[in-house]
Chains A and B, each alone.
Chain A
């Protein structure tokens, strides 16, 4: 095998905020009855944390679980651990009706950092990113300009954004455009 490469190989940009490609991340799509004990156990076994409630993300020692839909969760871990985690989860689920599939290479992840991060994101996503309305721990699947995206906050000044790998370049340019100097909105 060769060294795996993310779509943008760790590019970064500084403007109103810092925008950086996070490189490859382990991501596993889990479909099943999210309230079933076996499903919860399979997912939390990877992250060492809790199951998320709707519209949230729950972080544990070795990863996070994001609520994607009533029957879908996204389990996140280190890229190197994803393959093994898929195996462990599949085994743990046994005959429980479910689907576990590695999507680590199908995605790109960005980090948007800075006091203006909320504003930059609010230029692109039809989501209320005002303090109090969107806070660390919340997770939202949405639209970023013309592409599908999922977003959450790591802390007050840091957003994480996931999109499909094929549009990583578009997403990065989009975030750079929204973070162009002089375009502060000063609203939050």
Chain B
């Protein structure tokens, strides 16, 4: 059984017991435990079920590479699935639950899949679910979706806080092991700014467990000294619990800091995403041990050799009382020695190498451990935990020579450097035959803007496996990064690291070498996605030669662990099956993040109230307090209508619309874009920006204008006022202010840089209030101070003045066809002027109105709306706006494009009015159908609805639309099939429904 040893455990505090639960059962661990070590200390070997076959699975690793021990943590609004027990620090009250089983972890119905394993080979889904075709949508897909995924998605809104932090450093060191710390010190001695990230809660990495000396000091003590030295340096920033998640272009890197995961009772954000810019990045990310591929290598109790050593040394936990060690290298002997010295019974070391190991083998033998060379594990039996191991010859097919009862197996297939961060941004790898590993190719680093490498690997991550080489490589990496970052590295000699020498390892990709089929179908490569040696071999037989294709076909390495344990074993298996060399097969692509990071950390602070900026006009609060039913317009919120008690939104719109035509309405028009254009060349510039003439506009007057892109398409419209000789004031649509300002700047900066024109976006300087309706003039006259009569302020003119004590500019412009004044005042006075106008309007039946009323009023008048009648494919000529396109001007943006054959095609759909035959309202966006069908067998289309409303002033549905030969077909009836099954019929009419001669606005 797995249990806590009487002493040992350098990271735990036995004086501080910690209570936690697993599947509702209460357990006790110690402060400093990980959830994994605490579960093992409580003999909880079984921690989950595998994805496909629901096989019982136990903890196999001790760090970020863990594929099996994925648990659901927390509950309610703090529930999170798929969390690795090995990287979860224990805290009091931690709740955890296993995943992917029903009804319970111990008795799982899904495990029946296991019995059908031979029917669920690689590519099963592709082969099985392709026929009959209609089954996919209705039967197969719902079934697969039901069984997809390990953990459950959280149901509640996340209760925690998250944030970002922008950091800048000369040198970023990812990994706080001995190599990372030494590289950081080397770099920091030059005076460069250095930042060191370590994903665990402790500095030092695995060196304190593996031992050795540096400059004669035990490596654990040496690390403590290094940390103290670094912490004392002002130019060094050190962060624990902060994983280097990804390396991106130009020295950009992400750090994922788990701020309060280990202590949820602390105030503060749960995760912090560090967005780092570094001149140079050192990846000191260590290495991951590879499993061995033998039958039953997934039975709980089979564990990586180094992980077993970690649990013993760091947490005082042994996964078993009777342990067998299987290896192809010397490093696993450390585990045997360590366990033996702690009093655990190490039954046997099975060394696949015929000649065995070196110095460590001798040490093990001296401790009395039996060592069998050239031997392998034929099969591990057990079920929910290891019961016995069949031993066979490595050079055979698996015939058992002997069976031994035991309760844990330590395995080591060699080490793979963690090259992920080196590779994220394009660093290439080279195959090292002697260590059977891919390591960073120093000649092909990821390159920055200058074409030079910006990532330097260090230590084990660079393929160095001995302390001596690790420390000298770390110092070299620190110096290289220092110099490449533009600093002068201090001339220092690398310290001398000493550990035990190794005999050469021997690649073992299958154990035993010629394992028969029955064994291979029980030999797991990818634990999390249930991919076996036999699956990869099948893929190869079926013609999958590319590792990327094999990965997708078998799902090898596609689980949440991204194949940290399985990739190298898998591609070696593929290479063998293809009779190719491993480097020829190549690796799959390493993509960030290194391990999954929380969605919360990516979003950062952007949630709740600050999910997105909302732009508020100076009258926003008043609008809100007076029943505004909000409509988002860009990032603005505009009242769609002001809904009174007892009204529906529709009722409110009808009331407001009638009231503007009959009495007077008041509109918050502050969101309209306002751009000042000034300079000796401003007139010439505006003649280029607008399709019509603006240079000949007289000061004091206004003109409606259209703007097109250089491709001729309509992009914006609005009223332009001429202020003085060289100043114009351009109104844009609400959504167009920033876009049109940028458009103007772009042409001025890139094309007409020598024209003397300056523009400024002053949209927010002014509150703008429209007073609209037959009684509008009376309201303004009541407020007093300015002459607003027909002759003093004629239609399409503007005046500055003082209205009711406010400094204002009044534009007599109309988007409704009514007598209308748009009054601009400084934003800080907006609410006060609004209040004054409201009071003045009291006796005249004034009501505020929203955007829907604005739309209905303009549609009654046949005025177009950018975004309704235009959609990026419409030119002004389509909308019957030829009158606003100057024929006198030599040029304007869009002119040339509008002369192209497609733009002058007489069959372009054109704007018309549409009036339903029964008074109903046409559905928005409905298409008119014509005769016959197109090549796809669909009805031919002859037009579409662009705007549609119920007009309370005309008491019928009115609409505008673009119709084939529309203006020539007045009086014809078109059919518009609705999505409700009904066919709507509408007559083609003039788009101006109301006051065709414009008498009402010009009074």
Contact = CB atoms under 8 A, between A and B. Distances in A.
A165 B161 contact: no
Interface in A146-188: 146-147, 164-170, 173-174, 177-178, 180-185, 187
Nearest to B670: A166
Nearest to A108: B764
B828 A6 contact: yes
Given A133-B168, A183-B269, A167 B676 contact: no
Contact of B605 (A123, A126, A166, A168): A123
Contacts of A127: 166
A146 B612 contact: yes
A167 to B, nearest CB: 5
Given A145-B610, A177-B605, A102 B680 contact: no
B827 A99 contact: no
A166 B616 contact: yes
A61 interface: no
A173 to B, nearest CB: 5
A4 B168 contact: no
A166 B615 contact: yes
Interface string B156-197: 000001011111100000000000000000000000010000
B756 A166 contact: no
A2 B807 CA distance: 10
Interface residues of A, number: 54
A105 B614 contact: no
Contacts of B268: 180, 182-184
B765 A103 contact: yes
B165 A123 contact: yes
Contacts of A3: 832
Contacts of A173: 609-610
A187 B195 CA distance: 10
Contacts of B115: none
Contacts of B163: 123, 177-178, 183
Interface in B89-109: none
Interface in A4-57: 4-7, 24, 29, 31-32
Given A166-B615, A169-B614, A177-B605, A105 B165 contact: no
B636 interface: yes
Interface string A101-113: 1111111000000
Contacts of B679: 97, 99
Query: In the complex, which of the residues A71, A104, A177 has the most CB atoms of chain B within 10 Å of its own CB atom?
Result: A177
A187 B237 contact: yes
Given A97-B679, A99-B758, A182 B267 contact: yes
B760 A29 contact: yes
A183 to B, nearest CB: 5
B676 A101 contact: yes
Nearest to B617: A166
Query: In the complex, which of the residues A3, A29, A105, A127 has the most CB atoms of chain B within 10 Å of its own CB atom?
Result: A105
Contacts of B833: 2
A102 B765 contact: yes
Nearest to B238: A187
A182 B764 contact: no
A6 B828 CA distance: 6
B711 interface: no
Nearest to B764: A106
A183 B269 CA distance: 6
B167 A187 contact: yes
Nearest to B161: A180
A101 B762 CA distance: 8
Nearest to A24: B828
Interface residues of B, number: 53
B807 A178 contact: no
A174 B614 CA distance: 12
B610 A1 contact: no
Given A5-B831, A173-B609, A167 B166 contact: no
B610 A105 contact: no
B680 to A, nearest CB: 7
A97 to B, nearest CB: 5
A130 interface: yes
B266 interface: yes
A126 B758 contact: no
Given A103-B765, A106-B827, A31 B613 contact: no
B766 A105 contact: yes
A173 B165 CA distance: 17
A103 B762 contact: yes
Interface string B266-287: 1111001001010000000000
Interface string B822-838: 00001111011100000
A147 B267 CA distance: 27
Contacts of B612: 146
Contacts of A146: 606, 612-613
B828 A5 contact: yes
Given A145-B610, A177-B605, A105 B267 contact: no
A105 B765 contact: yes
B763 interface: yes
Nearest to A3: B832
A7 B807 CA distance: 19
B678 interface: yes
A154 B754 CA distance: 38
A122 interface: yes
Interface string B594-630: 0000000000111001101111111000000000000
Contacts of A181: 267
A110 B940 CA distance: 59
A156 B163 CA distance: 24
A106 B678 CA distance: 19
A161 to B, nearest CB: 14
B704 interface: no
A97 B756 contact: yes
A185 B163 CA distance: 10
B789 interface: no
A104 B168 CA distance: 34
Given A97-B679, A106-B764, A127-B166, A4 B828 contact: yes
Contacts of A169: 614, 616
Nearest to A125: B166
Given A126-B275, A170-B613, A4 B764 contact: no
Contacts of A104: 765, 826, 828
Contacts of B275: 126
B832 A174 contact: no
A6 to B, nearest CB: 7
A174 B610 contact: yes
Given A101-B760, A106-B827, A167-B615, A182 B266 contact: yes
B845 interface: no
Nearest to A131: B234
A166 B831 CA distance: 14
B502 interface: no
A130 to B, nearest CB: 7
Contacts of A184: 268
A137 B806 CA distance: 38
Given A128-B166, A165-B764, 19 more contacts: A1-B805, A2-B832, A2-B833, A24-B828, A105-B765, A105-B766, A105-B827, A105-B828, A123-B163, A123-B165, A124-B605, A128-B168, A145-B606, A147-B613, A174-B605, A180-B268, A181-B267, A183-B163, A187-B165
20 contacts: A1-B805, A1-B829, A2-B829, A7-B616, A32-B758, A97-B758, A103-B765, A104-B826, A105-B764, A105-B827, A105-B829, A122-B166, A122-B167, A124-B164, A173-B609, A173-B610, A180-B268, A183-B268, A184-B268, A185-B165
**What 8 A-B pairs come out closest when comparing CB atoms?**
A182-B267, A4-B828, A2-B832, A182-B268, A99-B758, A166-B615, A106-B764, A128-B168
Interface of A: 1-7, 24, 29, 31-32, 71, 97-99, 101-107, 119, 122-130, 133, 145-147, 164-170, 173-174, 177-178, 180-185, 187
Interface of B: 161, 163-168, 193, 237, 266-269, 272, 275, 277, 604-606, 609-610, 612-618, 635-636, 676, 678-680, 756, 758-760, 762-766, 805-807, 826-829, 831-833
